[in-house]
Amino acid sequence: MADVRQKSTKIQGRIIAIDGPAGAGKSTTAKLVAQRLGYRYLDTGAMYRLLTFFALQNDISPSDSSKLAEAARQLHIEFENRDGANHVLMNGVDVTTQIRTPDVTRHVSEVSAHREVREVIVDKQRQIGKGGSLVAEGRDTTTVVFPEADVKIYLDASVTERARRRLQDLARMEINTSLEEQENEIRRRDEYDSQRTHSPLTKASDAFLVDTTNLTVEQQVDRILSLVRAVVK
């Protein structure tokens, strides 16, 4: 930790982009990396989840790209850090918990696959990224949103481990499910996200691969910080 802070002058203003499939540890790790560097944190996936939540609440079909894109243009999306936790606001209302429900999870891949939707959301993400000093994570941050990021990371883990983590997250939200159900859901999302026409999930050629299957969160953070130190000299 001390080494990173000593080099803070060189590190400030950079963009660190982290991609990977669901459950690989992106959100937790990215938040902690941002904290250690004094950076802002951007959860790009939360923006698509927020739009999906809004669509489900307003009877907009996940297949209706035009209405979804128009909703994305109109929605005011904000991120707030309160008491060390990242909160997602939709038009000023905190929807952090609501966007993580199984119903939103089932539909978010379809919503985020539309070209029109992605163009609107990506533009919003790039606006947030102006000025740098940002850790951004999602499915296409290294390939589409910030292709010129200073450091690119691709996090991955086994399907079983990713399903186990998702199961723990849902248990904290008091949502009952099973490991088998989550494994099936993750396989479905992996297939959909990697085969979609627009901005498919893929590892950028210049991204560092970090397998988190057998790593603790702290080890994941240390691994990424060591890569940052190696790249930003």
What ranges do the domains of the chain cover? Answer: 2-231
Say whether 53 sits in a helix, a strand or coil.
helix
Contacts of residue 148, Cβ cutoff 8 Å, sequence gap at least 6:
15
Q: What is the pLDDT of residue 30?
A: 95
Residues 19-29 have pLDDT tens digits of 999 889 898 99
Residue 162 CA to residue 164 CA, distance in Å, equals 5
Q: What is the pLDDT of residue 195?
A: 86
Ranges of the chain with pLDDT below 70: 1-9
CATH superfamily for 2-231 is P-loop containing nucleotide triphosphate hydrolases (3.40.50.300)
Q: By the 8 A CB rule, do 19 and 143 touch? A: yes
